[in-house]
Structure 1
Amino acid sequence: MGQLKHSPVWCFFRIIKKYCPGYQAGALNRSALCFCVKAGINTNFMREPEIQKTIIPVDLNDKALKIISYAFIISKDILCNHTIFHCLEDDTTKEEAGELLKEMLVTVLERVPQLPQTTIKIHVVKGNFIEELTRLEEQEKFNTLAIGTGSKAEDWEMGDTTRKIVMSIPVRIIAVPPQAEMVFPGSLGVLVETIEESYSGVFDIFMQFVAYYNLFLSFVVFAKDKQKLEEERALIEGFKDFFSDTISFSFILEEEQTVLNFLKYADELGCDGTVIAWDEGTTAYKLARDTGRVFCNPLKPILYLNRSELKGIPEHLFFADEIAE
């Protein structure tokens, strides 16, 4: 296979071959795929489901309703402890802000009534927004942060505050634009990141969306030249029966791999949202750091997955050198 041994597609197929042997029997339906992926993941680290901790920073305006609502919708099947965070920036007192947020929660819970057993608390502070948010995250070790992008309908770039959060808070981040539909996504576009040092964990993590939510995933691969394009296509062709209608691969040839190009292409595919691998080792993060610009879809949410998602999962599931032929 040569250099393809460390490609994202190769790593993904090795994982499937090792942990989903049923693929050799022919095409798997969606339920069988979910079962195989769940079994392949869970048999290696069986444990009780952990309660997830989510922080939702909001202002005292109508946009807060949408951010809180979407955070609740996206976690509808997960045990969560939600913290609604607000940082005072004017003469509003903590008591006044707390009452306003309680009223918002009543409205949100009327829209999203069937939450699993969970807790919801309100945390109001006064000070610098980024500093206070960072301090609380370091204390509480949140799993997920839901933030509004604040972008207008035609704006594909995040505002300054949201950009700072996305660049500095090392957790899973859900970016929710004001125009996002309040429904659980049925399809996601996934940016296949450049793999460095045989790191293939990002690719396998995305498969958990299929296992737990029966989502349709559109993996988007940027091929730098025709040779790379044909190599990756040849790998996918050998497994086309396995993927059925659950997963698709799309290739963008000889175009720069940027978040903006990916977001617009995923939008053309009709995806309800997108997923981006996001930490200091990824191309997407490096471009944002170097340019000072973080792009978003003004109509659809983005999930930024940090490499910390791998904590607690055996490395042999994710590193190509450890996956046996």
Structure 2
Amino acid sequence: MASEFDVIARYFTRPAPEGTLGVGDDCALFSVPAGMQIATSKDLLIQGRHFYPNVDPEALGHKALAVNLSDLAAMGAKPLGCLLGLALPNVDESWLAAFARGFHALADAHGCPLIGGDTTRSVQDLTISVTVFGAVAAQPALRRDGARVGDHIWVSGALGAADIAYRLLDAQLPTDDSLLAATRRALEWPTPRVELGLALAGLAHAAIDISDGLVQDLGHVLSASRVGAQLQFDALPVADALQDLDHDTLVRAVLGGGDVYELCFTAAAENDDHVRRAAARVGVPVTRIGHVTEAGGLQVFAADGRPMSALPRGFDHFPGS
């Protein structure tokens, strides 16, 4: 059986970029471009909570890094490198090879090399920890507290598919193999919007990735910025596979569904065309879904013009605590 150090050498040691000290020393070393700050984020993925034991390991490697790159995207940060922590119940070399393949492919695509981490044996099940580092200009870094009254609110991509896939896999919805097949990739192979975040720097006023649901995460922006918002439900970009869902299931998936990893951002109304051109340059669809108001709170209006009541909450690891 491969030792801890064999695992690191075979699957997680690659040549470091010039000027960087990567895997193999007590610390990694990397430089930050002059005049920029470090942006960093960490996410944990725990078996049984964030993924199922039978998940495709290549997809899991991809997602483990993607969820962190999404945080850099929300700040308009350029990736610099990442750290990986793995607590493994055993050494399965075919599993490790596939996991590493998915992880490194996304790292290469975004210039975010693996430069260090830790590997250990877990008592039970698998736990994954990833930390990412990026570089961002101090001004104008994208933050949650920059939304301004009158801003238009935008969202990238399409909403709801990942939530439906999760709920199908978790038996919260009746079995529907065709619907699962149409939504599962959104859950297991999310696309971090790094290029869009970079394109929005200096254009958007505030941004957040909506990994815990549109209502909840946009609410964080509104709270930090001390403003309110109005959204039009019919304007929301719903994933094509969800068109035949009943209304209540659709509302929960689109407004409250997590694991989205799209960006929600605000920008001055007069910059609508600039936003569309910036998004088109990087090949990411964006949709204007509402506007920022002076009054606090979030209202979502139905097609008949009436405000929707009892908006779904997003994901919370400790609800009610």
Higher strand residue share = 2
Q: Mark yes or no: TM-score above 0.5.
A: no
TM-score (norm 1): 0.33
